[in-house]
Structure formats: structure tokens, C-alpha cells
Amino acid sequence: MDFQPILDDIVEAIRPELGKEGRVANYIPALANVPAAQFGIALRTYVGREAAAGDFATPFSIQSISKVFALGMGMRLTGESLWEHIGREPSGSAFNSLVQLENEQGVPRNPFINAGAIALVDRLLGHLDPKAEMLALLSSLCNEPVFFDEVVAASEAATGFRNIALANFMKSFGRIENDIDGVLDAYFHHCSVRMSCQQLARAAAVLCADGAHPFHADQKVLTERQTRRINALMLTCGTYDAAGEFAYRIGLPCKSGVGGGIIAVVPDTLSLCVWSPALDHTGNSLLGMRALEMFTSMTGLSVF
Ligand code: GLN
């Protein structure tokens, strides 16, 4: 299939909608100033063919998309014991919700909500430097150096009252081992990584190739089983309270971030990244979701 004309058509169809609906995340002050009227899309097939259109080269804050790669690191390091600390069920609530944690004794529902990713970083801290490892992993997977946005990380640290509450709440249940400040510093930095659609489509290609490195096919970054499980969690938990709607309308494992990016995986075929900063009420990119729906309708590619 020639994907370039398909991505060009999607950009044409999305362009008139830019800036009309949705809102840029404004609870993180450093993200509030990002112009809403931007849209990019990029993909990479498991054999390394690429297509891209729109603002595909513009770097943005990957935010919760980093949680997928943190989970990959956690699975490699701690194996099944990870699941003694974090659940694998959809939360059915907002990404930063506190309510479930009270009823469930401080064990987060899954690794893709904020509480789950904070607990995951706590696990990683026992084994490595999560900040350095995240940059090393993402830079290797997309074959270019990537960096933290220190302004975004500082902005989240200064205003991330809910995340600070989540971490302290879990600590009160004895679920966080390390010092809260160190855990949150690593978590906020993970969220602050800046990458473009093209870089994220490349990095996510590891998930469409049974865990093989996108640029070094003979190198296994994840096992086939780990990759399958990450994709399963993305499908059921990757877009928070909209996971059902994503499965219904798009039918692909997806992971979103409040920077407006969404990665999506067609297992054994390709990985995609779309980006548009204006979000819907669930914190997912409004036009990003629409573009993914167009892509699966036009290509017939879906896991169903
Ligand atoms: N850094 C954001 C937060 O912690 C990540 C949330 C997201 O992208 N959904 O609130």
C-alpha cells in the first residue's frame, strides 16, 4: 500500500478543522501557550518504509506517551513481579483521578494512568536512573538524540499538585519505596520529553515488529510476548476513559498524551503518530483521534 497519498488526504481533510474545537492542556502552564492550530502525522512500517505529512517534524511534549516506554523498561527489568505493584485493568476514570486508589489500597489500576506511571518509576528507581534510561531508550529507538524540555518539567513540578497528591497517597499505603521527590522528578521529566511525530512513529515501530529494534532488526528490545502485552494494555487502558470509544472508532492499540500526541500500532504492520494540541474532555487529541479514525477507515487496517 502507498501510504503517502493517504496521509496527504488526511491532512487536507483535517486542515479546515484546525483551531475550531477542543482546548490545549492548560493545567500545565508551559503547555498552555502551544498554538492549537497544528497537525502532523507520520508512520513507519515494520520493514522501515515511512510516510509523513503536515507538521510531522515539529517537536512537541510527549507527556503520557512516555508511559509506554517506561512500561517497556519496567517489563525488561522486573518481569512479572511488576504486576504485584500495578494492575492491568482499565480505570474507567480520568488519568489523574485519586478516587479508585482509596478503595484499592493504593494499588493503581494500570501503568498508563498517572498513579500507575508514578508507581512504575518507583520500581525503576531500584534498578537504574529512569531519566537517563528514558532518553537513551527513546534516542536509540528513533535513531536521533532526544531531550527533556526542562521548562515543561519545572512547570509540572511547580503545579503538579494532583501528581504530588497521588504519590503521597500511594506512599501512605506503603506502595512507594523511594523518596517522593526523586520519584516525581523522574516522572515529570519523562512527561517532558520533546519529540516529533516522525520520531515517535519510529520509536513506536518496536511495537509493530514483535519487539525488534526499528533500526537494527537483529536486536530485540522487547520479547514478542512483552510487545503483545504492551499493545493489549494500550488498547484497553492507553486513552483513559475513552479507551472504549477508541476501540470502537479506531480499533488499534493507542497511547495518548496531553501534549496532543497519540501513537497507534497495527501489530506486525506499522506504527503511527498523530499530533494536534487541542484536546477533548477526556484529555485526548480531538483531531488526532479523528485522523486515526480516517486512517483505519481508508486503509481497513485494524486489529478487528
Ligand atoms: N504530565 C501529565 C500529568 O502528569 C501527563 C498526563 C497525560 O499526558 N495524560 O498530568
- Over residues 141-178, the pLDDT tens digits come to 999 999 999 999 999 999 999 999 999 999 999 999 99
Residues with CB under 6 A from ligand 1: 63-64, 95-96, 114, 156, 163, 191, 257-258, 283
Pairing of strands 193-195, 60-61: antiparallel
Residue 67: active-site member: yes
Beta bridge partners of 266: 270
Q: Model-level pTM?
A: 0.97
Rounded average pLDDT over 189-202: 98
Domains and CATH numbers, the chain: 4-299 (3.40.710.10)
CA of 229 to the centre of ligand 1 (A): 22
pLDDT band at 55 (very low <50, low <70, confident <90, very high): very high
CA of 114 to the centre of ligand 1 (A): 7
Of 61, 64, 66, 91, the active-site residue reads 64
pLDDT band at 126 (very low <50, low <70, confident <90, very high): confident
Per-residue model confidence (pLDDT) at position 45: 97
Amino acid, single-letter form, for residue 61: S
Mutation pick for ligand 1 pocket among 63, 113, 255 (CB with most ligand atoms within 8 Å) = 63
Residue 64: active-site member: yes
CA of 294 to the centre of ligand 1 (A): 26
CA of 238 to the centre of ligand 1 (A): 12
pLDDT tens for each residue of 144-153: 999 999 999 9
Rounded average pLDDT over 39-51: 97
